Amino acid sequence: MKKKIVILPGDGIGKEVTTEGKRVLETIASLFGHQFEYDEATIGHDAIEATGNPLPDETLAKLKNCDAILFGAVGHPKYDNDPSLKVRPEQGLLKMRKELGLYANLRPIKLFDELLQASAIKPEILKGSDILFFRELTGDVYFGEKGRKDDGNTAYDVMIYQRYEVERIAHKAFQAARTRKNKVTSVDKANVLESSRLWRAVVQEIGKLYPDVELEHQFIDSAAMKLIQNPRSFDVVLTGNLFGDILTDEASQIAGSMGMLASASVGDSVGLYEPIHGSAHDITGKGIANPLASILSAALLLDISFGLKEEAETIIKAVEKALALGFRTADIADAETDRAKILNTQAMGSLIVDQLMVSVKENQ
Ligand code: IPM
Ligand code: MN
């Protein structure tokens, strides 16, 4: 298969982890006989420093003209500490989502058995958890009208949803549920918010087209609680942009660490794949970031954008194997981890590459 992939490292640990994600893609290409061509582009703080624009036109042109994107992260503490700055790295990410029509953000929360102990939640509550989030990504308060009035002393962000925006992501969630445990939990705040009442009504309508899929509705506050109380009761979770942002960070604790979670953003055209962790400036440049989320993002890329299921499965198996052999990065290590098996970013990448080569050879 011949494909063009853009690597978009972004800020902070984004560079370190996408380097390993790319190595894994290169390894898969050579083992399975694919031709992947790579290009690189800038976004976020990096791009602001170079061009003044968090999403330069040149980057957007490259993204619109490729088959898939492997993205790192954006963000920089400089902006977090100064809310008055007008040009911000996150604007690049939001504009990219909008421009590429990436309205569905899939965040699979899958617990690797080997990491049961790494979570702060009791193993007996966690075991067997497997949740797929569908977070709406191009609507809601993120993109509603925002502004200031009364001399800057009043600020607002409008929470807004249109019917078609809810319909299209609801279809995706119900279709995914059919390939899993046939259950969709739609999360909103319909007891208070008008936009949530529209959300709920539309999801109910779409749900009727999928009578074989069980549909339940939960309010965001209660869902946040139940997620920790009984994560196994969820299969597919369908929710809006802001609620999904918050709930998926919470859910990352079910998987042991943010460092393990990959995500896919899909919609009208090209797919974008990224870890759910951010730029993590506290550990940037130290070479200790966990590259597994980027590597698992590469697996999602192969699966969803290219339909290469076997290749994707091979990557997941290699990650499982590395964990089963006792190897960890610092974020997923615990008191029982053999100190000699705590790897840095690059060494973990190399280990996965080795495991890929071994597993493909074994299957020949
Ligand atoms: C995420 C991030 C982004 C979001 C930020 C960086 C704008 O937290 O992808 O979850 O809020 O969507
Ligand atoms: Mn987030």
> CA separation (Å) from 141 to 111, 242, 267?
31, 7, 19
Residue 232: pLDDT over 90: yes
SS3 1: coil
Is 292 in contact with 348 (CB distance < 8 Å)? yes
Tokens of 309: 């299921």
- Which overall architecture, per CATH, does domain 120-255 show? 3-Layer(aba) Sandwich (3.40)
Residue 269 has, within 13 A of its CA and on its CB side, a CA count of: 13
Tokens of 71: 């993205």
Position 259 scores a pLDDT of 87
DSSP-assigned letter for residue 273: E
- pTM score, whole prediction: 0.95
- Rounded Cα distance between 308 and 326, Å, is 28
Q: Write out the H or E segment, with its range, that includes residue 351.
A: helix 345-362
Could you tell which of 8, 69, 245 is best to mutate to test the pocket of ligand 1, judged by most ligand atoms within 8 Å of the CB? 245
Per the DSSP assignment, residues forming a β-bridge with 215 are 184
Position 256 scores a pLDDT of 79
Q: Using 50, 70 and 90 to split pLDDT, how confident is the model at 117?
A: confident
200 versus 364: the higher-pLDDT residue is: 200
Each residue of 256-286: pLDDT tens digit?
788 899 999 999 889 999 999 999 999 999 9
Tokens of 48: 């602001």
For the Cβ of 250 lying below 6 angstroms from any atom of ligand 1, the answer is no
**Highest CATH level, class, for 1-105+265-364:** alpha beta
Phi-psi region of 128 (alpha: psi -120 to 50; beta: other; left: phi over 0): left
- The segment(s) of the chain belonging to CATH 3.40.718.10 are 1-105+265-364, 120-255
Can you tell me the mean pLDDT for 172-195?
A: 98
For the Cβ of 130 lying below 6 angstroms from any atom of ligand 1, the answer is no
Position 361 scores a pLDDT of 86
Could you tell which of 90, 136, 247 is best to mutate to test the pocket of ligand 1, judged by most ligand atoms within 8 Å of the CB? 90
For the Cβ of 245 lying below 6 angstroms from any atom of ligand 1, the answer is yes
Is 115 in contact with 85 (CB distance < 8 Å)? no
For the Cβ of 26 lying below 6 angstroms from any atom of ligand 1, the answer is no
Residue 291 has, within 13 A of its CA and on its CB side, a CA count of: 32
Instruction: Give me ligand 1 centre to Cα 111, in Å.
Output: 22
Annotated active-site positions, please? 142, 189, 221, 245, 249
Q: Are strands 262-266 and 146-149 parallel, antiparallel or unpaired?
A: unpaired
For the Cβ of 274 lying below 6 angstroms from any atom of ligand 1, the answer is no
Those residues whose beta carbon sits under 5 angstroms from the ion ligand 2 are 245
Q: Using 50, 70 and 90 to split pLDDT, how confident is the model at 255?
A: confident
- The protein residue whose alpha carbon is closest to atom 7 in ligand 1 is 90
- The protein residue whose alpha carbon is closest to atom 9 in ligand 1 is 276
SS3 35: strand
Tokens of 142: 């993120």
Instruction: Give me ligand 2 centre to Cα 79, in Å.
Output: 16
DSSP-assigned letter for residue 15: H
For the Cβ of 136 lying below 6 angstroms from any atom of ligand 1, the answer is no
Residue 241 CA: which ligand 1 atom is closest?
Answer: 12
Each residue of 293-334: pLDDT tens digit?
999 999 999 999 999 999 999 999 999 999 999 999 999 998
Q: Write out the H or E segment, with its range, that includes residue 50.
A: helix 45-51
Amino acid letter, residue 106: L
